[in-house]
Structure 1
Amino acid sequence: MTIQFRNETFRNDFTYANSPGNIPRFPFPFPEDVYMYSTNVEPHHATRAGSPFENAFDVDEHYVAEMKDRALVLAEDPGRCQALPHMETAGWDFVELVMVSKARDYPDLFELTIDGDRWHWINKPLQIDDSFIFGDSSTLPCHPMEYIGRQVQGDHAILDQRDGNLWLDAGIITAQADWSLDFDIGMNFFEWHAPVPLAHELGVFQRALKFLLSLPQGQPSRRLNWTLTVNPRLDTSPENYPKWGPDRTTVTPENIGEKVHLRVELQTFWRLPRSNAILFPIRTYLMAMNEVVTQPKWGRRLHRVMRDLRPELVEYKGLSRYHPMLVEWLSQFDDGALTSPGIFPD
């Protein structure tokens, strides 16, 4: 399948949109008419051709635009990419995983030639053609994690495993949903997730940590997470809150379908071979409400999820200002018909 990359922006004039053919492949995150925190982890193996789960690292029509936006964020704030000194080997693990996967899954877009420790990498969409010595960071223009992180959609955290816990010791994070790498770097798993309501009481993170500590190499897993965003803005970091926080005050019944976006994170988990660290990609997908409701099952289900969402989650996800308005708007797309579980439309 040939991918037509879109010329679009995630800031200022917000020209981002999904093409009609891209809408059905959106990872709609609600398998039921109600939502509650859970680990909801499944194996990350290839499923359904054309879906975001078909390949190890999804590449879609937004690839080039997202990489341009990442470059802008890093130019404004280099602190969005950090790695503690002991994480260099994990960075090379990251390079290998992405390059091998992309060259295998998208041979028309990416090429990789390996001759011992001499590697030749071609990224056609970004017009990159580099030769380097694997394991020798001096042969790359920057830290290996940053080098490959500028070429793969989604944020990427790398978690070091020690003392029976996971530690956020490296990451390239430019499209986060209101959390800060600069604040969280060096924290352990529970410290990093401390702000999340209800999940701690339900034991979600205790179970998640136990699962991740035993994650085997070669058997990655995945889960979906979600929130809402006003305007198709990838960078909703605390550092830039003055830029995106006021957007919530601009939502009206007339523009809610255009402005409010369902923001879904496809989170995957990979055990890295040399460092034994865990790579935690967080791939963000955005879809305006007007696009969501083109799939009738999604419109019905989203209305029910929003209508019955617990107040703690409404507050935590920052929806309070426009939540009632959204529920009312979505109600017009809920005809009362029963809906069946499933991520993709019938």
Structure 2
Amino acid sequence: MTIQFNPSEQMRDQFHYYNSPKAIARFPFPFPEDNYMYSVNIEPAVSKPDTVFENWFDIDEHYLTEMNERALTLASDPKRCIVLPHMQQAAWDFLEMVMTHLSQDYPEHFQLQQQGKAWRWVNKPLNIDIHFTFGDASTLPLEPFEFISRQVQGDIALLDQRDGDLYMDAGMITGPADWSLNFDAGMSFKQWHAPVPQLAHNLGVFDRALKFLLNIQVDQPYRRLNWTMTINPRMDTSSETYHLWGHERALVTAENAGELVHLRVELQMMPRLARSNALLFSIRTYLMSLNDLVKNPAWAKRLHRVIRDLPEPIADYKGISHYREPLVQWLSQFDP
């Protein structure tokens, strides 16, 4: 499958970002019903051809844009990539997983050759062609986790499993939805989920979710969808950059909501890493302006009802309360 990459996109400053008709059609619209309540909503990661669920690592037309955006973010803030010392084996685990899947799923763009520990990796879109020794970081231009994380769309967390819990001990987080890897690194599962409304005081939900994740087996990954909204097609909405984007919420009106407001959907994948037994938690983010989203009339009608009836604590948590009134007013024209 040959992917046509979008040229000249920009996800900061002078925004220029668009979705092709194909990208709109395969967008993972996250609302199966007209109302929304926060839930764990985990399902087996069964492949679904011609959708974003087809492969473990989805590569699409925004690949070059997002890899450039990641490089810019890392240049200004290297702490977006953190690997604690005991996570080195997990880092190599992750590198092997990404290279194996990308080369199998997108052979026109990625190739992997292996002769024992002597490997050759080719990434045609990024003009990478490198010979290295698997397990020897000195043969790579960067540490293994950073090297491969700069070549896959979406944010990455590697969770160390110990003492009956999961700890965020490694990550490449350059496009988070208002959180910070530098703050959360080393935290346990319950600690980094504490801000979630209607779950923070329901320890039973946390306990069941954690128990489930601890029992995920190799080659039996799970996934879930999460969502929020972003003003402008801005990938980096981290806590560290709030001063750059927080004020944009006040710009939304009933006239410009379709252009400014973007539905932001996270496809979260959770496979087990074979050698280290760490759990991968990948966060593949998809952005779509509401002008594009309403090209699907059923989505437009449903989104109006979801946002209109969203419980206030969840609207606050997702940052929508600042502009919900003009947003609902704009959406109402599609749900007469």
Q: Could you say whether these structures have the same fold, taking a TM-score greater than 0.5 normalized by the shorter chain as the test?
A: yes
Superposition deviation, residue 147 in structure 1: 0.6
Paired residues of 1:83 and 1:171 also in contact (CA < 8 A): yes
TM-score (norm 1): 0.95
Paired residues of 1:44 and 1:221 also in contact (CA < 8 A): yes
Distance in 1 (CA, whole Å) between partners of 2:73 and 2:137 is 23
In structure 2, what is the equivalent of residue 194 of structure 1? 194
SS across alignment from 2:334? coil
Please, which runs of 5 or more residues in structure 2 have no aligned partner?
Answer: none
Distance in 1 (CA, whole Å) between partners of 2:133 and 2:182 is 30
SS across alignment from 1:271? coil
Superposition deviation, residue 107 in structure 1: 0.5
**Residues 54-65 of structure 1 mapped to structure 2, 5 A cutoff:** 54-65=54-65
Paired residues of 2:219 and 2:271 also in contact (CA < 8 A): yes
SS across alignment from 2:283? strand
TM-score (norm 2): 0.98
Q: Which amino acid aligns with 2:181?
A: L
In structure 2, what is the equivalent of residue 3 of structure 1? 3
Paired residues of 2:255 and 2:330 also in contact (CA < 8 A): no
Distance in 2 (CA, whole Å) between partners of 1:127 and 1:160 is 32
Paired residues of 1:155 and 1:173 also in contact (CA < 8 A): yes
SS across alignment from 2:5? coil
Distance in 2 (CA, whole Å) between partners of 1:183 and 1:151 is 24
Paired residues of 1:92 and 1:145 also in contact (CA < 8 A): yes
List per-residue Cα deviations over 1:51-102 (Å, max 9, x = no partner). 1001111000000100000000000000000000000000000001000000
**Residues 257-268 of structure 1 mapped to structure 2, 5 A cutoff:** 257-268=258-269
List per-residue Cα deviations over 1:133-168 (Å, max 9, x = no partner). 111111111111101000000000000000110000
**Residues 134-283 of structure 1 mapped to structure 2, 5 A cutoff:** 134-202=134-202, 203-283=204-284
Superposition deviation, residue 20 in structure 1: 1.7
Superposition deviation, residue 288 in structure 1: 0.4
In structure 2, what is the equivalent of residue 80 of structure 1? 80
Superposition deviation, residue 295 in structure 1: 0.5
Superposition deviation, residue 274 in structure 1: 0.9
Identity %: 61
Superposition deviation, residue 302 in structure 1: 0.5
**Residues 298-309 of structure 1 mapped to structure 2, 5 A cutoff:** 298-309=299-310
Please, which runs of 5 or more residues in structure 1 have no aligned partner?
Answer: 336-346
Distance in 2 (CA, whole Å) between partners of 1:140 and 1:204 is 42
Paired residues of 2:258 and 2:291 also in contact (CA < 8 A): yes
2:6 corresponds to 1:20: no
Distance in 2 (CA, whole Å) between partners of 1:159 and 1:205 is 16
Distance in 2 (CA, whole Å) between partners of 1:70 and 1:215 is 29
Q: Which amino acid aligns with 2:124?
A: K
Distance in 1 (CA, whole Å) between partners of 2:177 and 2:273 is 25
In structure 1, what is the equivalent of residue 319 of structure 2? 318
Distance in 1 (CA, whole Å) between partners of 2:208 and 2:259 is 38
List per-residue Cα deviations over 1:263-306 (Å, max 9, x = no partner). 00000001101110001100000000111100011001101111
List per-residue Cα deviations over 1:203-250 (Å, max 9, x = no partner). 332221111000101100100000000000000001011101111111
Distance in 2 (CA, whole Å) between partners of 1:41 and 1:330 is 29
Distance in 2 (CA, whole Å) between partners of 1:224 and 1:179 is 17
Distance in 2 (CA, whole Å) between partners of 1:75 and 1:97 is 26
Paired residues of 1:37 and 1:204 also in contact (CA < 8 A): no
Q: Which amino acid aligns with 2:236?
A: D
Superposition deviation, residue 321 in structure 1: 1.5
Q: Which amino acid aligns with 1:302?
A: L
In structure 2, what is the equivalent of residue 30 of structure 1? 31
Distance in 2 (CA, whole Å) between partners of 1:131 and 1:102 is 17
List per-residue Cα deviations over 1:25-63 (Å, max 9, x = no partner). 00000111111111111111211x221001111000000
Distance in 1 (CA, whole Å) between partners of 2:201 and 2:39 is 12
SS across alignment from 2:271? strand
SS across alignment from 1:281? strand
SS across alignment from 2:141? coil
In structure 2, what is the equivalent of residue 331 of structure 1? 332
> How many residue pairs align between the two structures?
334
Distance in 2 (CA, whole Å) between partners of 1:178 and 1:313 is 14
Superposition deviation, residue 24 in structure 1: 0.7
Greater Cα shift, 247-256 or 268-277:
247-256
